[in-house]
Amino acid sequence: MWDGAHIDEDALAVNGFKEEEIKDKTKKSEGDLVAEFLKWAKEDHMIAGHNPSFDRDFLRHAAMRAHLNWPFAHRTIDSHSVCWTHMTLQKIKPPMKNQRSALDLDAVLVYCGLPEEPNPHNALVGAQMEAEGFSRLLDNKKLLEEFEKYEIPWV
């Protein structure tokens, strides 16, 4: 956690953390974590996810605070749009609520034959589930061993 960071109680509830856990000085620093992420993603400078602009922005700001070069472009790939397109190409009407799309991450995952994301939200688990969903939507293929038992509904 960086000095001066705002602690949002709602965010803690979503992620299942306690304030003392996020202030634990024995854990890796934000700068170390974002440096590891940038090293891992060195060959693919595209961020994809269900709300990827949120992820891109907080990661970019973390990189800036750590004085690290940010190699990613502004554009991202959003699973909502990919799933919406997949559904409409299959002549399936995407779910709507209050005249808006109801394709939240859980709806995308279920459409892809996967279980809903467990609560509380864990970023690594969410990223793995989203990667699996993208693989199914874009390649009609299973990606990760932990999701092998879940069939792809349209294949």
pLDDT in tens, the chain (155 residues): 777 889 999 989 888 889 898 888 899 999 999 999 999 998 878 899 999 999 999 999 999 999 999 999 999 999 999 999 999 999 999 999 999 999 999 999 999 999 999 999 898 999 999 999 999 999 999 999 999 999 999 99
34/59 Cα distance (integer angstroms): 7
Range of the domain at 110: 79-147
Which amino acid belongs to residue 24?
A: D
Q: What is the pLDDT of residue 107?
A: 98
Is the residue at 153 inside a domain? Answer: no
86 and 46 in a common domain: no
Q: Is 12 left (phi over 0), alpha (psi -120 to 50) or beta?
A: alpha
138 and 106 housed in the same domain: yes
Question: In the Cβ-directed half-sphere of 26, how many Cα atoms lie within 13 Å?
Answer: 2
Q: How many CA atoms lie within 13 A of 153 on its CB side?
A: 14
Q: Which residues contact 116 (CB under 8 A, 6 or more apart)?
A: 106, 109, 110
How far from the centroid of its chain's Cα atoms is residue 105's Cα? 9
pLDDT on residue 112: 98
pTM > 0.85: yes
Q: What are phi and psi of 101, to 5 degrees?
A: -60, 135
Residue 3 lies in a domain: no
Q: What are the residue ranges of helices labelled H in the chain?
A: 9-15, 19-22, 30-40, 52-65, 79-89, 105-111, 123-139
The answer to whether 104 and 89 have CB atoms below 8 angstroms apart is no
The total number of structural domains in the chain stands at 2
